[in-house]
Chains A and B, each alone.
Chain A
Amino acid sequence: MVSFELLLFLLLVATAVAIVRMRDLFAAAMLTGIFSLVSAGLFTLMDAVDVAFTEASVGAGISTILFLGTLALTDRRENQQPWRVMPFLVVGLTGAALLYGTADMPAYGDPNAPVNNDITKEYIEGTEHKVGIPNVVTAVLASYRGYDTFGETTVIFTAAIGVMLLLGGRRSREEDDEDDASTGPRSEEGEE
């Protein structure tokens, strides 16, 4: 099992290096999807199926598609950039700091880790007779921590509003309401 995880981690590193070195942005977008899929595999091995599911659907699914949509707006190939020392230093130092930080993290599955406190115990023991559903993660997200999920939903809504305001600013409200049923609001732009 450990060797399988090691294999996935090596694959993850190889994919990351390939993304950085890739000049073809279409291939790089596909590789980010693969990166997410391998991450999802790792999360599954760590029994975090809900996280793996989210990683697979968001990382490998929708963001790859949004990358493709963005690529349609720009060039398919990245311009050749001169090698610069400053960005390399920043990235290297951040990576080193993150590696240093992992040394202080509790071991995987450690029962004395701070995350396995009384609240976690309450979630696991209480879900069955207080919420009555088998999936503890859903019980925590939707019931125990319903406020947080409400906040998250609002954040996604706000993000959508932001995209609409930034990218759809040229459209007026009247044509939006009238043209929807028949031809769609962008019909006259499409005829150009």
Chain B
Amino acid sequence: MSHDNPMRMRENAILRVTSKGLIPYILLFALYVQFHGDFGPGGGFQAGVIFAAGFVLYGIIFGLDAIQRLIPPIMVERGAALGVVIYGGVGVVCLLLGGNFLDYNVLSAHEPMHGQHLGILLVELGVGLTVASAMTAAFYYFSARAR
């Protein structure tokens, strides 16, 4: 029956239809929060959490197998590590370009402020990737226990 569904909500038609309609907008909102964090409230951390909430909602309603077909566990495991690598990598690139660790000014040859923009965008991307992957991984591993 629903032995692979951790919260046994798969049978409810209302939940299925509303969540199917909502999830694209949750992910779209997460993208907005991710890339608009320089201008409005939010940033990588919040965006990552919203991304994960969208994935987890899908997992709760349609089952762990359905979400793991889209995002295999190995992807969240590597994503969590890749985010830290992106963040640290930006710092190392700054070092190689002659600046201090995470001193984004040197990322642009002409205008320090452009370097700052690029640096913030990239490190926020790293934060978002790690947070989204870590939260999704936590859900995966908890749900797998419920079987």
Contacts and interface: CB of A to CB of B under 8 A. Distances in A.
Interface of A: 49-50, 52-54, 57-58, 61-62, 65-66, 68-73, 129-135, 137-139, 141-143, 146-147, 149-150, 152-154, 156-157, 159-161, 163-164, 167-168, 176-177, 180-181, 184-186, 189-190, 192
Contacts, number: 179
A61 B46 CA distance: 10
Nearest to B26: A61
Given A50-B42, A53-B42, A133 B144 contact: no
B53 A66 contact: no
A159 B74 CA distance: 16
Contact of A180 (B37, B60, B64, B73): B73
Interface of B: 3-4, 6-8, 33, 37-46, 49-50, 52-53, 56-57, 60, 64-65, 68-69, 72-74, 77, 80-81, 83-84, 87-88, 91, 101-102, 104, 112-113, 116-117, 119-120, 123-124, 126-127, 130-131, 133-135, 137-139, 141-147
The SS class assigned to the A binding surface is helix
Contacts of A71: 7
Contact of A160 (B41, B56, B80, B87): B80
Contact of A143 (B42, B45, B119, B131): B119
